[in-house]
Amino acid sequence: MTGHLRSWPIVLALSVASAPLVLMYVYLFVDTVTNAPPGSFVPNEFTLEHWSFLWHTPRGRPSIWRVTLNSLLFATSTAALVVVISSMAGYVLSRLNVPARGFFLAGVMVLHAFPAITLIVAIFLVLQVVGLYNTLIGVILVKAAIDMPLGIWLMKGFYDTVPWEIEMAGIQDGASRFTVWRKLVLPQVKPGIFALALFAFLLGWGEFILPQVLAPGGDVQVLSVYLASLIADDNNFDMALFKSVGLFYMAPVLILFFFFQGHLMNIYGGGTKG
């Protein structure tokens, strides 16, 4: 009891300090389904008009569903690329005696630390030359390449925890190196693969700069670019619409986090459960 008594000032202080944050989130939601009279914070009517972008495409803008599909394609494709390539590259760097292994390891580390944004002009030029500018494929490739070092490093860490004898036992049992990887090692790093896939998806879903610069066109717009274009438009500036689209954009992330937070924690454990 005394513990509770002594902690209540702290609780109170924390509540007061975080109240503005909570209020912000509450208003973010409330504002999307109500109208308030000018100059007031208190809403006076319920409305769905701010969500009308879902069924009505304003002139001069791509359809929200098209954009959502692009975002999904973008995030899942980059995640898939990152997972497939990192899970193989991580294994090679962890186990096989490849030439210049140390160089690759260091290189991956440096690339991970390298601010990708400094490359954007060069990437822009390259994409233009090869004809992938303003295409989803182009920006997917770029995003996957930028996320890859993290993925490779992460997967290498997971592979490092798999006992070496398991692989040797597999080889003795007559399996090829590839089969050993597929059937014996990969199942041990499932938590890593899963977490990496989720991370890569979320990174892709939240990416703004790359699609904005490399694929701004209406057909290939992703949600973040669409959202930004709403406030960039000075003529009919609609705060409530912006908030609604923002909520819509956030929802999948929240849902994913809600369902998979346990797995996400696992990534730092680095263990081989499952």
Partner 1 sequence: MRILLDKFSKSFGDVRVIEDMTLEVNDGEMLALLGPSGCGKSTTLFAICGIHKVSGGRIFFGERDMTDVPSQERNVGVVFQSYALYPHMTVAENIAFPLRIRKLPEAEVKRQMEEMARLVHIEELLGRRPAELSGGQQQRVALARALVRRPNVLLLDEPLANLDAKLRLEMRSEIRRIQLETGITAILVTHDQVEAMSMCDRIAIMNAGRIIQIATPQEMYRNPRTAFVAGFLGNPPIAFLDAVARDGWLAVEDADIRLPVPPGTRTPPDGTPVVLGIRPETLGREGDAPIRGRVTFVETQGRENLYDITLANGSVLRSIQRVSDDVSLNDEVEWRVRSDQIFVFSQNGERL
Tokens 């500018």 -> residue: 133
Tokens 């709403």 -> residue: 230
Q: Which helix (H) or strand (E) holds 74?
A: helix 64-95
Using alpha carbons, select from 13, 27, 32, 23 the residue that is nearest to residue 245: 32
Question: Could you tell me the smallest distance in angstroms from the CB atom of residue 107 to partner 1?
Answer: 25
Question: Could you tell me the smallest distance in angstroms from the CB atom of residue 166 to partner 1?
Answer: 5
Q: Is 20 helix (H, G, I), strand (E, B) or coil?
A: helix
Question: According to CB under 8 A, which one of 174, 178, 235, 262 is a site residue for partner 1?
Answer: 174
Judged by beta carbon, residue 82 or residue 185, the one nearer partner 1 is 185
Question: Could you tell me the smallest distance in angstroms from the CB atom of residue 187 to partner 1?
Answer: 4
End-to-end CA distance of the chain: 41
Is residue 163 within the footprint of partner 1 (CB under 8 A)?
A: yes
Question: Could you tell me the smallest distance in angstroms from the CB atom of residue 182 to partner 1?
Answer: 12
Which x/- pattern, by CB under 8 A, does the window 184-203 give for partner 1?
A: x--xx---------------
Question: According to CB under 8 A, which one of 80, 175, 240, 247 is a site residue for partner 1?
Answer: 175
Is residue 272 within the footprint of partner 1 (CB under 8 A)?
A: yes
Is residue 179 within the footprint of partner 1 (CB under 8 A)?
A: yes
Judged by beta carbon, residue 107 or residue 274, the one nearer partner 1 is 274
Is residue 102 within the footprint of partner 1 (CB under 8 A)?
A: no
Is residue 15 within the footprint of partner 1 (CB under 8 A)?
A: no
Determine contact, residues 90/159, Cβ cutoff 8 Å.
Answer: yes
CA distances to 109, 191, 229, 272 from 266, in Å: 22, 7, 37, 9
CA distances to 20, 28, 203 from 24, in Å: 6, 6, 24
Radius of gyration of the chain (CA): 24
Determine contact, residues 139/215, Cβ cutoff 8 Å.
Answer: yes
Determine contact, residues 240/31, Cβ cutoff 8 Å.
Answer: yes
Is residue 161 within the footprint of partner 1 (CB under 8 A)?
A: no
Is residue 263 within the footprint of partner 1 (CB under 8 A)?
A: no
Q: Could you list the residues that contact partner 1 (CB under 8 A)? A: 163, 165-166, 168-176, 179, 183-184, 187-188, 272, 274
